[in-house]
Structure 1
Amino acid sequence: MEVAVLGAMMLAAGAAPVVMGILEPTDFYRPAHQKIYSAMYRLAERSAPIDIATVASELEKTGDLQKCGGPNALIDIAASVCTAASAPAHARIIKDNALLRQLIEHATDLAEVCRNHPGNIAEMIGQARNRLDTIACRAEPGRQRNEGVTQMMDTIQPEAIDWMWKPWIPLGSVSILEGDPKVGKSTITLQLAAIVSRGWGFPDGDGKPGAPYGPANVILMNSEDPLATVLRPRLDHAGADCTRIFALTGVQWRNGAVDSERMVTLQDVDTIEQAIIKFDAKLVIIDPIQAYFGAGVDMHRANETRPVLAGLGAIAERQRCAVLLVRHLRKMGGSATAHGLGGVDIFGYARSILLAWRDPDDPNRRILAHTATNFAREAKSLLYTLDDGFRWCGVDDRTAEDLANQPQQRGERKPAADRTAEWLHSLLSDGQIPANEVYAKAAREGYGIGSVKAAKTMLGVESCKVAAIWVWKLPNAQ
């Protein structure tokens, strides 16, 4: 069958366009036939004639002529054809056989994966569905297909990094500010917003105002502090131009004659980008990040957080703005790179990481350290105080790693039982969760099984069986 199709294409000029609308090189079973068909394909793309001589010449160029049996093999293929009229029908049979081989291979691989059971059923189903969809696309030439988008690096024009605050906050990228409660993370973000809105200078290497940036507009997404009683007074105290700062608080839509509104999440990339464009914002502050991931996104799973962060990063790059995420620290210590709440993938995606920390030597001072950056050397740490409002007060030689490795002095912390209960309540606030998943998340955050069980009792968390799986839910939850 394959020989009949290849021979018809070399003998009848009208056969090639029809067959090439049906078959791809990989549809042929024999490797030699794949090489011959690929040579014909290249000739067709150059609008060159397809016959024994041109195909032999094309195979010679790639060193495949002898691998395919030499010129005599091409002559034998052409001589075996009785009529070229059946080429389209034969091509469809070859296509069907190729699809059957792919389905058999897919089913075999899937059976092997299921036997080994890697553990993530949803991911297994997703991969199986994607592969089956690829086969379906090949079966229906008119169906939309996903193809890789490539670009030759020679066509890319090198660009220098643009900075809002060098080397702390680059433009066109995502940065993270992380720290414990009571170290002034939100206050720092409002101070930065004030600087941008007024066009003032950010602190430079000696802690004094450096090169100015702006004035420019700022978008503020803050889920923890009231606008009227906390954010506006703090912005006023920082000297911000509040006509340049816009709070993005929700998403509106119309259902018939009724207007509805909900909280904006990082999955609302179109809404966020529209706001950036509308106000020509150059700084977007999202405080805290865990409040904005949205339902269905586990911030400890890279496969769930990465698409969200990628969408945010794409916005920053397109709009040439800086995105600053605020992140709380996890309960457990460790290296500076492992302190932040959520998966390490969040750390890996950011281009610059800032760490706010209590000064171990002075309870009235805080330290803003530079944990990492992709584009420059880390900056010298800055000192600041929150007494009587925010104030920069010099530089410090201690690095983020120095601070993370010192004995923990992380401020006023609630008793362990209360912290565990707060964590569990927050975890279950979005709905019931399988008990084994609760324990797994607790382990990642440094909470022991005993403390989680105690918190369950303290909160009156209910256990019930759903489809043979024990789940936990808050009392009176639906």
Structure 2
Amino acid sequence: MDTVQPTKVSWLWEPYVPVGKLALLDGDPGIGKSWVALSLAASVSRGRSFADDRRHGSRPRSVLYVAAEDDPADTLRPRLESVDADLSRVFVMSADAVWHGEGGLGFIRRVDQHLGRTRAQLLVIDPLHAVLGSVGSTQQGSVRQFLLCLGDVASRRSCAVLCIRHRGKSRRQGAIHSGLGSVDFVAAARSVLLACRHPADPTRVVIAQAKSSLGPQDASHVFAIFQPGVDWCGRLEVSADDLVSGVTSLPRSGAAEFLRAQLENGEQASTDVFRAGRDAGFSERTLRRAKGTLRIEAVRRAQRDAPRGSGQWVWRLIDQDGHTWENAVWPS
């Protein structure tokens, strides 16, 4: 080992999606896994930071998206446009386009060729089980070989690989084992993420980390799907195991109580909320995390003819009779 030069881990989204490694995103059908992947793809294509992570914006890079279930024309392109992706940098392939009847290791060879041509920094496989071919999701020896080869491609191409899986029927095991297939999937992945409904708000989804091999696990993230796009609502102090076990309530922090009192009489500019929060002893980061535990949305207020991106962000509580999110936009 004295000849090995130590290197730092590179991230697309720290500590959830590492570059040159495999990551899993598990969740029930229809929960919003593809929306998360497309939102991440859009951020990579624009060189933006992802969700509320301000650390990892970089120059725009290409994305290779393998789609086995969603149609590129009527589903993927409209969704990519809604999350403001640079379409010239997102390369979408249906599973048939890369299989050519092979699947499994043949799929990896063809994806490797496409990564070489596109120089993509992110590869999304949606869903993973659709490209296994004859490997099968429960054949441990074959699965291990498939994942070793996929991991080698990720490392050699310096490409983050995000594999999407459906959850299994059994909910008795912990979050780390909730996805379909062999335990080898979890063993090979350096990060395992889980998408579940928000315990206190069924209109929102929580992304929690069930495994992190490259660093300490971080807080969960909350988002809502609306038309058009994804609203990242902040962080939430709840674990993946809590979500799997069916926790139905969350403790309210002092910051959450502060936000509720601050906004109960109407919306306020986010800058005013942060200023009042500092006076009350709460950091901006704490307030953003507390925002994820409440029904709060962020809306940009601007004049009708104002340039795109101008205006002032305001926070407001969502009314209790059910908000449709029809006016929601990207959060501040």
Fold conserved between structures, TM > 0.5: yes
Figure out how many residues of one structure are paired with residues of the other and give that number.
Answer: 246
1:331-383 CA-partner distances (Å, limit 9, x unpaired): 11020111010011111110011111111211111101111111111111011
Instruction: Note if 1:230 corresponds to 2:75.
Output: yes
Aligned-residue offset at 1:298: 2.3
Letter of the 1:397 partner, please give it. Answer: E
Instruction: Note if 1:157 corresponds to 2:2.
Output: no
Alignment partner of 1:324: what SS? strand
Separation of aligned partners in 2, 1:283 and 1:317:
12
Aligned-residue offset at 1:282: 0.5
Cα pair distance change 1:164/1:252, threshold 3 Å: closer
Answer whether contact 1:185 1:326 (CA < 8 A) is retained.
Answer: yes
Cα pair distance change 1:365/1:263, threshold 3 Å: farther
Answer whether contact 1:329 1:340 (CA < 8 A) is retained.
Answer: yes
Cα pair distance change 1:337/1:250, threshold 3 Å: closer
Separation of aligned partners in 2, 1:211 and 1:310:
27
**TM-score, normalization by structure 2:** 0.70
**TM-score, normalization by structure 1:** 0.49
- Residue 299 of structure 1 is matched in structure 2 by 137
For residues 182-201 of structure 1, what are the structure 2 equivalents within 5 Å?
A: 182-201=30-49
Higher CA-based Rg: 1
- Residue 86 of structure 2 is matched in structure 1 by 241
Cα pair distance change 1:264/1:189, threshold 3 Å: farther
Runs of 4+ in 1 over 2 A off after TM superposition: 207-211, 248-253, 261-266
Separation of aligned partners in 1, 2:184 and 2:202:
32
Letter of the 2:35 partner, please give it. Answer: T
Separation of aligned partners in 2, 1:337 and 1:284:
22
- Residue 402 of structure 1 is matched in structure 2 by 242
Separation of aligned partners in 2, 1:228 and 1:365:
27
- Residue 101 of structure 1 is matched in structure 2 by none
Aligned-residue offset at 1:262: 2.5
Separation of aligned partners in 1, 2:178 and 2:131:
20
Letter of the 1:394 partner, please give it. Answer: G
Letter of the 2:4 partner, please give it. Answer: I
If each structure's helix is expressed as a fraction of its own residues, which one has the higher value?
A: 1
1:69-104 CA-partner distances (Å, limit 9, x unpaired): xxxxxxxxxxxxxxxxxxxxxxxxxxxxxxxxxxxx
Cα pair distance change 1:216/1:252, threshold 3 Å: closer
Aligned-residue offset at 1:306: 0.3
Answer whether contact 2:95 2:130 (CA < 8 A) is retained.
Answer: no
Answer whether contact 2:13 2:53 (CA < 8 A) is retained.
Answer: no
Structure 1: gaps spanning 5 or more residues: 1-152, 254-260, 409-478
Percent identity between matched residues is 36
Aligned partner (choices 4, 7, 21) of residue 173 of structure 1? 21
Alignment partner of 2:5: what SS? coil
Alignment partner of 2:105: what SS? coil
For residues 257-268 of structure 1, what are the structure 2 equivalents within 5 Å?
A: 262=100, 265-268=103-106
Answer whether contact 1:364 1:387 (CA < 8 A) is retained.
Answer: no
Aligned partner (choices 187, 196, 216) of residue 348 of structure 1? 187
- Residue 308 of structure 1 is matched in structure 2 by 146
Alignment partner of 2:179: what SS? coil
Answer whether contact 1:221 1:248 (CA < 8 A) is retained.
Answer: yes
Alignment partner of 1:402: what SS? helix
Answer whether contact 1:217 1:281 (CA < 8 A) is retained.
Answer: yes
- Residue 214 of structure 1 is matched in structure 2 by 59
Instruction: Note if 1:276 corresponds to 2:115.
Output: yes
Answer whether contact 1:251 1:264 (CA < 8 A) is retained.
Answer: no
Cα pair distance change 1:335/1:251, threshold 3 Å: closer
Aligned partner (choices 201, 205, 213) of residue 362 of structure 1? 201
Alignment partner of 1:308: what SS? helix
Separation of aligned partners in 2, 1:338 and 1:248:
29
If each structure's strand is expressed as a fraction of its own residues, which one has the higher value?
A: 2
Letter of the 2:174 partner, please give it. Answer: S
Answer whether contact 1:198 1:215 (CA < 8 A) is retained.
Answer: yes
Aligned-residue offset at 1:407: 5.8
Alignment partner of 2:148: what SS? helix
Aligned-residue offset at 1:405: 1.6
Answer whether contact 2:12 2:56 (CA < 8 A) is retained.
Answer: no
